[in-house]
Structure 1
């Protein structure tokens, strides 16, 4: 199965809850149907990206990166690459590369949320498929070239440093954790 096929399968099965998430799910599927290259950065109409919010549920905290280009505190994530076989693998690769933490594990149940956001040229629009990953006890982060800083934030401090999309991702992640899924 190709990454494109995996994305269609994941999005077809995704139930993010609520009309806004359902609308995004349909938009993503329509985008892929119209753009066979819709997985890749080269697609001028926008493209899917994969991200993962790195969390430490035992300590009630989340690891955010101060993105070098955007100068915003964000979850780890980015563009799919030719070696990625699934969206989940792309999200986990990005989270591992950008956090420097080995042994991250995605929460079961597929993507936590979908989020569409504009990005400065040349990318223009990201259709982000958002996962969450747990860090192992004692995990030590290491700043990558894509980041100005990495920092653990208690859950209740995220709204003060990050934008609304990260806050929504954290809220949805905490719901998934509470449900044990």
Structure 2
């Protein structure tokens, strides 16, 4: 199964409502119209995969200071030809950017969807957002893609990150309470 086909299945199974349902349909329409919609080369936009690294035991999240954007964000990026699944791409990105081995994705599939503009020639990132659980005693290691990595208490995130990260954290915490 191609990554494109797997992404369609993930999005069809994603439970959403309101604005998230509208985004889910936008993502599915995009993939239907663009066979290359998983890849950075798709100028109409492309799916990306990210994961918010959480340490529920200590009530904190690991954010990266993005090198190009200068913003505190969750780990994430473009899908690569070797990625078999969108979840696998999110976990790969989180592991690479955090330097933490042994991350595991929170069960239940994507936590949120977030569509945001990017500079031309591509115009949109259609981000499929997961949450990754840090193992006990996790130690981060900065990658070349980041200016900095830092753990933030849940209640600090709104003061350093944008709304998309705050919403991702809120939905992640809601899913953690269901476990």
In 2, Cα distance between equivalents of 1:179 and 1:124 = 36
> Structure 1: where are the runs of 5+ without partners?
none
Matched residue, 2:93: 94
In 2, Cα distance between equivalents of 1:10 and 1:80 = 15
Matched residue, 2:9: 9
In 2, Cα distance between equivalents of 1:98 and 1:43 = 24
What TM-score do you get using the length of structure 1 for normalisation?
0.97
In 2, Cα distance between equivalents of 1:121 and 1:59 = 40
Q: What's the RMSD between the two structures over aligned residues?
A: 0.7
What TM-score do you get using the length of structure 2 for normalisation?
0.99
**Superposition deviation, residue 122 in structure 1:** 4.1
Q: How does 1:112-123 map to 2 (within 5 A)?
A: 112-123=111-122
Q: Secondary structure at the match of 1:32?
A: helix
Q: Secondary structure at the match of 1:54?
A: strand
**Superposition deviation, residue 119 in structure 1:** 1.7
In 2, Cα distance between equivalents of 1:124 and 1:97 = 25
Deviations 1:63-101 (A, max 9, x none): 000000000000000000000000000000000000000
> Structure 2: where are the runs of 5+ without partners?
none
Count of residue pairs the alignment pairs up = 179
Matched residue, 1:150: 149
